[in-house]
Amino acid sequence: MGKMGISIYPERSTFDKDKAYLDLAHQYGFKRVFTSLLEINGEKDEVIAGFKKPIAYANSLGMEVMVDINPGLFEQLGVSYDDLSFFDEMGADGVRLDLGFTGAEEAKMTRNPYGLKIEINMSQGTNYVDNIMSYSPNPDQLLGSHNFYPMRYSGLALDHFIACTKKFNKYNLNTMAFVNSHDATFGPWPFNDGLVSLEAHRDLSIATQVKHLKLLGGINDITIANAYASEAELKAMSEAFLAAEPALKIVPSEAITANERIVLFESEHSYRGDRSEYILRSTMTRVWHKDKAFPAHDTRDIKRGDILIGNVDFGQYKGETQIALKDMTNQGQINVVGRISDDELFLLDYIKPWSGFTFEEVVQ
């Protein structure tokens, strides 16, 4: 099981606010903290002091803190890749390199005497990680994380995100991506229109972003990029992240019956393996509920994303649950009992045969 993370930006807030946020996140099982030294104005000692307190507090809660930095800052702070004592003094658990070196330096950094982890940028799409691996790094101390993007339309394309992630997966390195809180108001930079790794996630709820990353696979850890997410968002993310199976949001039809509700919301669902391009079938509900009544209603033609249950006229298929993957004609034996919520319709492309799922009722 991977870890959930939050982000704090001590230069743009107060210790008391950071502390309250760390407490709340810890309560919901968050284990990672991201913070950024990308922009520093002030003396080195002041900088260390401003970060030390929240880092120490996060560590006291058992949370791991990664500090984002770029090579330009190394010079400003008088830090070099072969002496990472500065970050050890700060109390950090690791360093994230926003921009890298040549490969040899990163590999050497993973063998630092302080046990600091080195996290590298996953989003560039180059052979950067292959190059680092050729210099024999300590793979247990080498992590990858995608970038985040505060400008709308600048986030990663899905195919690029997947290709970049695979480069890290082949070495079994720990990977992380960022998701966006809609209640958060700031990130590390002055401008912020949400803060995501994947552009497609910018306007989605935090739980839907997390479900998508879990269904995609290849990403171990997920961190909220902006601060401060609300308690409702932390709870929703925690539930989605820790769930054994994705809960698909559905809007039930007005005419749904009590028996149909039992089929949808009180049954385990599993995507039948011999799959069709038209329907995703959860067939066991017809066995478990074969003695229940399913009179015909709402037998209109079927649209992609409709939730279907076989009615009394459907013989051996009575009580079977289906999700429409394509538009179809309805010959009267199928009740349309609801539909996948518009914002989660795209998740149908990622549910794999033989996997399980549940339904979660929403109002739209």
Start and end residues for every CATH 2.40.100.10 domain found in the chain: 248-361
Contacts of residue 265, defined as CB under 8 A and 6 or more positions apart, other chains included, come to: 359, 361
| Structure confidence by residue, pLDDT tens digits, 277-297 | 999 999 999 999 999 999 999
Six-digit token string for 239: 């539930």
From CA 348, how far away is CA 357, in angstroms rounded?
11
Report, as an integer, the average pLDDT of 313-319: 98
Question: Residue 333 — φ and ψ, nearest 5°?
Answer: -95, 0
Is residue 222 very low, low, confident or very high in pLDDT (cuts 50, 70, 90)?
A: very high
| Structure confidence by residue, pLDDT tens digits, 168-181 | 999 999 999 999 99
* Contact (CB, 8 A) for 334 and 311: yes
Inter-residue long-range contacts of 81-85, CB under 8 Å, 24+ positions, other chains counted: 81/105, 81/106, 81/108, 81/109, 82/108, 82/109, 84/109, 84/112, 84/114, 84/116, 85/114
Residues 248-361: name the CATH superfamily: Cyclophilin-like (2.40.100.10)
* Contact (CB, 8 A) for 233 and 188: no
So what's the pLDDT on residue 290? 95
The answer on pLDDT for 263 being more than 70 is yes
Start and end residues for every CATH 3.20.20.70 domain found in the chain: 4-242
Instruction: Assess if CATH 3.20.20.70 describes domain 4-242.
Output: yes
Six-digit token string for 113: 């005497």
| Structure confidence by residue, pLDDT tens digits, 320-338 | 999 999 999 999 999 999 9
Question: Residue 310 — φ and ψ, nearest 5°?
Answer: -65, 135
The answer on pLDDT for 230 being more than 90 is yes
So what's the pLDDT on residue 74? 83
- H/E stretch holding 357 reads strand 356-361
DSSP string, 112-157: -TT--EEEEE--S-SSHHHHHHTT---GGGEEEE---B-STT-SBP
**Would you give the distance in Å from CA 109 to the centre of its chain?**
28
For a pLDDT cut of 90, what percent of the chain falls above it?
89
From CA 233, how far away is CA 90, in angstroms rounded?
29
Six-digit token string for 86: 């500065």
So what's the pLDDT on residue 39? 64
pTM here?
Answer: 0.96
From CA 42, how far away is CA 214, in angstroms rounded?
40
| Structure confidence by residue, pLDDT tens digits, 178-204 | 999 999 999 999 999 999 999 999 999
Report, as an integer, the average pLDDT of 83-103: 92
So what's the pLDDT on residue 40? 67
From CA 264, how far away is CA 275, in angstroms rounded?
20
| Structure confidence by residue, pLDDT tens digits, 23-58 | 999 999 999 999 998 666 777 777 788 899 999 999
Residue 212 identity (one-letter amino acid) = H
- Number of Cβ atoms within 10 Å of the Cβ of 122: 25
